[in-house]
Amino acid sequence: MVLDQCSIELAAGEACVLSGDNGSGKTTLLRVLCGLTRPDDGQVVFDGMSVGDAAVARQVRSALQYVPAHPYLFSTTVRANLDYGLRARGVEPVERRQRTEMAIEWARLQAVVDAPPQQLSAGEKQRVAIARAWVLAPRVVLFDEPTSHLDRASREQVIALIAELCAADTAVLIAAHDRELIEMAGARRLHLASGRVRSVV
Amino acid sequence: MELLELTRDALHRLVVLDPGLWQVIGVSLRVSLIALAIVTPIAVAGGFILAMVRFPGRRLLILLVQSLLAFPTVVVGLLLYLLLSRRGPLGAMQWLFTQEAMIAGQVIIAFPVVCAFTLAAVQAADPRLHETARMLGASPLRAAFTLLGEVRFALVAAVLSGFGRVISEVGCALMVGGNIAGLTRNIPTAIALETSRGAFTEGIALGIVLMVIALVVNAVLVLAQGAGQGASNPRAARALWYRG
């Protein structure tokens, strides 16, 4: 059994770091929480809504975003990547343009806004993925090892963006090994072992 | 030397727009392009569904599609002939020896090519692609179109491969088209006829046209594969076969 009766509570704007050994199930937990992986047994409830329920899936996904360790960027420009989720949700063109510009400024992507993904560094790709989630105004963002493959400067930029998310009342749950993240100021620490989550004081 | 002379004559007749030759070319292009326009959305949708949806009998269906890749076109023509003949179940349509029958035959021949190549392209796509689209709020249909857009270069290769298969096939075209001058005589059936009559100039001229079409199709295929390898899902351009 990979996960057993896991339950996590997050307050608005709270940062929570989930640590655990390789293979302990951190990625599985995040994927189950956002509905990308179905649990073999039981159900995942987010804010009283069942994540696996097709009827509320869109509602859950509008409140919850997931940024994997190696995010996939569509083979178009950064601007189009940021616009994708807004377009998918039927946001009007004028508002889409405004929110996309805000995301570009927020994540400091001005220099690469018209670049395709293959021209971006790992740090830039991660910032695009975070901005792509941010632009949808989620209540919770799940991060899977957001800094594990980044250099020092990129790590600091990503951690700064995550801190800004929390400052804007977005709760974040971060699966991480990175000491800088684990010791992020004000972050609650959880540890996943033997399929169970426990608080770390 | 005779061959050189014949080739020179053939080129001359093409350049001066010999009406008989260009009518045959026109029939070929019309029939094949219409068949392609019909088969592409159906086969691409079929390939996508086979790649992405799990249902009972899926593996059998994939095996069938892949087996049909090597199905002799003359047998397709024979089966279609039996269906469309006066005594056949579709005889009332009166399609036998018309361009409509040829189009139907080419749709059947091109379908497994476009479908199998689409299946391979979608399976080779980055598995994160579809998940990312859905997480960002895309509906299943929008996510499907996003995925197809990401593997567009491989899809171009699939469609061009289908075109290449039908533009040069002769078996089915002869069976259900009847090789009627000005109506159902296309490039391959005209080459067969003219050569059997000893009219080598016409045969060579039409053969040159077919080679040019094959060269152009392959050039576009190479460009599409190159562009696909430059995109963020390079495996889509290389993987042209279902891996199970």
* A102/A93 Cα distance (integer angstroms): 14
Distance of CA B35 to the CA centre of its chain: 8
Q: Where residue B46 sits, what CATH number does that domain have?
A: 1.10.3720.10
| Domain-located, residue B73 | yes
Q: Partners of A199 in the beta sheet?
A: A190
Look at A85 and B136 and tell me if their CB atoms are within 8 Å. yes
Total domains in the fold of chain B: 1
Q: Is residue B241 over pLDDT 60? A: no
Burial A151-169 (b: 16+ CB within 10 A, else e): eeebbebbbebbbebbeee
User: What residues of B are in contact with residue A136 (Cβ under 8 Å)?
Assistant: 136-137
Q: Is B121 on the interface with A (CB under 8 A)?
A: no
Look at B142 and A72 and tell me if their CB atoms are within 8 Å. no
Q: Is B136 on the interface with A (CB under 8 A)?
A: yes
Look at B126 and A75 and tell me if their CB atoms are within 8 Å. no
Tens of pLDDT along chain A (201 residues) come to 667 777 788 888 899 999 888 888 889 889 888 888 888 877 777 777 777 666 666 777 778 999 998 999 999 999 999 999 999 999 999 999 999 999 999 999 999 999 999 999 999 999 999 999 999 999 999 999 998 888 989 999 999 999 999 999 999 999 987 776 767 666 788 888 888 888 876
pLDDT of residue B233: 45
ipTM given for this complex: 0.89
| B164-185 mean pLDDT | 94
Lookup result for tokens 């290389």: B238
Question: Which of B128, B135, B150 comes nearest A61 by C-beta?
Answer: B135
| Domain-located, residue B243 | no
- Model confidence over A32-81: pLDDT tens digits? 888 888 888 777 777 777 776 666 667 777 789 999 989 999 999 999 99
* B65/B57 Cα distance (integer angstroms): 12
- With CA atoms as reference, the chain B residue closest to A75 would be B232
Q: Is A137 on the interface with B (CB under 8 A)?
A: no
| Domain-located, residue B244 | no
- With CA atoms as reference, the chain A residue closest to B233 would be A75
Containing domain of residue B103, as a range? 2-238
Contact B127, A54 (CB under 8 A): no
Give the type of residue at A5. Q
Burial B2-35 (b: 16+ CB within 10 A, else e): eeeebbeebeebbeeebeebeebbebbeebbebb
Q: Is B229 on the interface with A (CB under 8 A)?
A: no
| Domain-located, residue B107 | yes
| Domain-located, residue B199 | yes
User: What residues of A are in contact with residue B132 (Cβ under 8 Å)?
Assistant: 71-72, 74
- Model confidence over B29-78: pLDDT tens digits? 999 999 999 999 999 999 999 999 999 999 999 999 999 999 999 999 99
Domain over A15-200 is classified CATH 1.20.140.10: no
